[in-house]
Structure 1
Amino acid sequence: MYAPERHQKILEQAHAQGRVDVRELAELLAVTPETIRRDLTSLERRGLVRRAHGGAIPVERAALMSPVSDREGLHASEKLAIATLALDELPENGSIIIDAGTTAIRFAELLPADRPLTVVTHSLAVASTVAPRPNIELYLLGGAVRTTSLASVGTWTHQLLGMVNVDVAFISVNGLTPERGLTTTNMAEAAVKTALIKAARRTVVLADHTKFGREEFGRIAPLAAVDTVITDAGVNADLVQDIEAAGTQVLWPGRPKAF
């Protein structure tokens, strides 16, 4: 197969899956990993992909996020499993932050009704989910609301966050790598997520396997700021090893806690 044909196949895979992996492409196209790396470098120079840990993502993934309603059905079973496992990280009669995002909404829906909790959020969707619960004391952070995420951002949001100190923050991200840590597509939301992490004693990241190995424009925090990442069984094993080597545990349904 000639290089232009490989490049076309790589782009097709990238657009279909959201990212491509060097080793998987090498096996699929029957070439060496070094050949795939050269192909990805060539495609990156042409502005068609962006290199990420162990592979690449199409440039569209760094564009503005699609609205929450458009993302609700993506990886629904994985998100439900992640949200269910995250319940184990809840404090007893304590306080939590719940970030914006579809997995965070699933998590909010599953919060127990028999445990007093204080919930802080900047997400309108999360707030509307938990507001009717008599066992939950809800604090909704104000600010400028972004239509794509239905979450508040800006000066007002940061001022209110500076007034709280919670037990656990449950954070959503668009990208997660050992080198760049947590990232998202929008700078304003990245800044709020950074503040959410700083307001909590512990941080738990909720991220399905498609977020691993991706690097987005807005940097949130290094892996050192994260205690636990909860994902699904489709996660790349090499990335898990690198993340845990940095001191952050990675959990998914059926995997026992290592530390």
Structure 2
Amino acid sequence: MYAPERQNEIVARARAAGRVDVATLAAELDVAAETVRRDLTVLERRGLLRRVHGGAVPVERLTLEPSVDERDLANTDAKDAIARAALALLDDASTIVIDGGTTTARLAALLPEDRELTVITHALPVAAAVATRPGITLHLVGGHVRGRTLVATGPWTTAALGSLRADVVVLGANGVSVDRGLTTPDLGEAEAKRALAAAGRRVIVLADHTKIGRDELVAFATIESVDTLVTDAGVDADLLTELGAAGVEVVTA
């Protein structure tokens, strides 16, 4: 079977079943798993499938970007583990910029109370997690608050974030891939995240395994700009190998 025929078959199976997985496709199509992954990458770039952990789903099955409440209830154990692992990476940082996201908010809630920290954020949940904490000086960056994610976006936000140079920036992302780097579905958030990514002497990305290998609408940072990625044990081993080969330190919680 030639590659175009195989790819058409993969799309047909995904539309019929709602999802395909790499291992099953490799066995049934009699090809290597890496061949299937390349096919899925091609099909994602063509806008036919969306990569997910271990396989892909047809774009027709995708829903709108979930709200904060919906995302907060997903993969809670993994997100808690990621937050704990990320806390250990902050070392002696005194200025920390924290992006929006349900995992980054968990990290904010774990910040120590026995040392002086300056926290800067454009995310309301992150600000709420640290606003009354002893020892933490909070700077909340304003702008147009996006209701779906409760983060500020727009020119005010981007200008303020673009003026910073912090010890550590902690980023969230909807998608993390070697090819396109860090991605998000919203144009406004992408601009804010782009400024965030440039604001840190060290950049740490928190992303559970469902984000690894995904590719959303807008790219806001290259994979080379990431110093450390913290994810969970559910991530595909081959994707971890790709990230490591790209120079990213990967911490698996």
Q: TM-score, normalised by structure 1?
A: 0.83
What per-residue deviation string (whole Å, max 9, x for no partner) do you get for residues 155-179 of structure 1? 0001211332110011000111111
Q: Which residue of 2 aligns with 1:140?
A: 140
CA distance in 2, matches of 1:58, 1:97: 36
Q: Which residue of 2 aligns with 1:239?
A: 239
Cα distance change on mapping 1:7 and 1:219 into 2, 3 Å: closer
What per-residue deviation string (whole Å, max 9, x for no partner) do you get for residues 85-134 of structure 1? 00012142510011101101111111111121100101001101100102
SS at match of 1:152: strand
Shift of 1:63: 6.0
Check the 8 A contact 2:53/2:213 in 1, yes or no: yes
Alignment RMSD (CA, Å) = 3.1
Q: Which residue of 1 aligns with 2:3?
A: none
Check the 8 A contact 2:183/2:218 in 1, yes or no: yes
SS at match of 1:211: coil
Cα distance change on mapping 1:194 and 1:61 into 2, 3 Å: farther
CA distance in 2, matches of 1:33, 1:52: 20
Shift of 1:247: 0.9
Shift of 1:58: 3.4
Q: Which residue of 2 aligns with 1:33?
A: 31
CA distance in 2, matches of 1:244, 1:36: 21
Check the 8 A contact 2:120/2:140 in 1, yes or no: yes
SS at match of 1:90: coil
Q: Which residue of 2 aligns with 1:201?
A: 201
Check the 8 A contact 2:183/2:217 in 1, yes or no: yes
Q: Which residue of 2 aligns with 1:171?
A: 171
CA distance in 2, matches of 1:170, 1:80: 15
Shift of 1:6: 7.0
Identical-pair percentage = 49
Q: Which residue of 1 aligns with 2:225?
A: 225
Q: TM-score, normalised by structure 2?
A: 0.85
Asked if 1:150 is matched to 2:150, the reply is: yes
What code does the residue aligned with 2:218 have?
G
Shift of 1:147: 0.6
Structure 1: gaps (5+ residues): 254-259
Shift of 1:208: 0.5
CA distance in 2, matches of 1:139, 1:60: 41
What code does the residue aligned with 1:109 have?
A
What code does the residue aligned with 1:10 have?
A
